[in-house]
Amino acid sequence: MVLQYLERHGSTDRGEVAELCKIGPMQAYRLLKRLEKTGKIRRVAGSTKGTRYGLPSK
Number of folded domains that form the chain: 1
Whichever domain contains 14, its CATH number is 1.10.10
Within a domain: 31: yes
User: Would you state the pLDDT for residue 57?
Assistant: 84
Within a domain: 58: no
Within a domain: 38: yes
Within a domain: 57: no
pLDDT in tens, 9-29: 999 999 999 999 999 999 999
pTM: 0.88
Other beta carbons within 10 Å of 32: 21
47 CB-contact burial (10 Å; exposed 0-12 / middle 13-18 / buried 19+):
exposed
Within a domain: 39: yes
Q: Which domain holds residue 7?
A: 2-52
Residue 58 pLDDT exceeds 70: no
Within a domain: 30: yes
User: Would you state the pLDDT for residue 13?
Assistant: 96
